[in-house]
Amino acid sequence: MAHDFKVLSSQLLFDAPIIAVRKDELAMPNEQVAYRDVVEHMGAVAVAAVNDAGEIAMVHQYRHAVKRRLWELPAGLLDVKDESELAGAQRELVEEAGLKAAQWSVLADIVTSPGFCEETARVYLAQDLTEVERPEAFGDEEADMDFAWIKLDEAVAKVLAGEINNSIAVTGIFAAWQVLNGHGQARDVTAPFDLRPTSIATRRSGPDLKKI
């Protein structure tokens, strides 16, 4: 019988706008007790937006944690209380790429760093695209963000060459390539996202979950 890793106690150590850190006391096998530090996260969405020319929309954004610019899919936090994953993805596609899509499906659900972090991401495939005005960004990395259309085959090659490193982008690129080449089936947008984190959303009042 599988062991029940019951939480015996939990202590919030650090609370910041984007993340929080807590320490959980766990009942381990053989009547042992252990402590695990967990980075709480709101969850995220990302969009593999592919146009009729077989190009995928990508952004080039500075990421201070690795001190370099990374090629990524349009993506963002689920930081609006009670906002659906699809609505979040649609919002991010407009904000980061200036695009709307008439056709949506689910490519993948990802646990990005399960050893210590709650972060999960749902990656969508967006098709039948229309250009719209992108809101102007001020004062953060998005104000310095570049945008490009890249052939999907070329994006796959860039992953294998080590030129695209963001894990969500890697997953979305390969999943989109599989589906659009007839090697897999995307899911309907109504598929439940059971992995979406709830710790921060439960503890904070809305609508902006970044406010503490």
80 falls within a domain = yes
Could you give the angle at which helices 152-160 and 167-180 cross, rounded to 10 degrees?
Answer: 130
Residue 1 resides in a domain: no
Single out the catalytic residue among 31, 142, 154, 163. Answer: 142
What percent of the chain is modeled with pLDDT above 90? Answer: 93
| pLDDT tens column, 150-183 | 999 999 999 999 999 999 999 999 999 999 999 9
- Note if 72 is an active site residue: no
Would 64 be classed as within a structural domain?
yes
Residues 31 and 88 in one domain: no
Asked, for residue 189, whether it belongs to a domain, the answer is no
Residue 208 covered by a domain: no
Q: Domain count for the chain, please give it.
A: 2
Before 207, cis peptide (omega within 30)?
yes
The boundaries of the domain holding residue 28 are 7-40
State whether 71 and 99 are in the same domain.
Answer: yes
CA distances from 159 to 97, 150, 168, 171 (A): 21, 12, 12, 10
- Yes or no: say if 196 and 78 are a contact pair by the CB < 8 Å rule: yes
- Determine the average pLDDT of the residues in 31-59: 98
Residues 23, 66 share a domain: no
The structure's pTM equals 0.95
Residue 26 forms part of a structural domain: yes
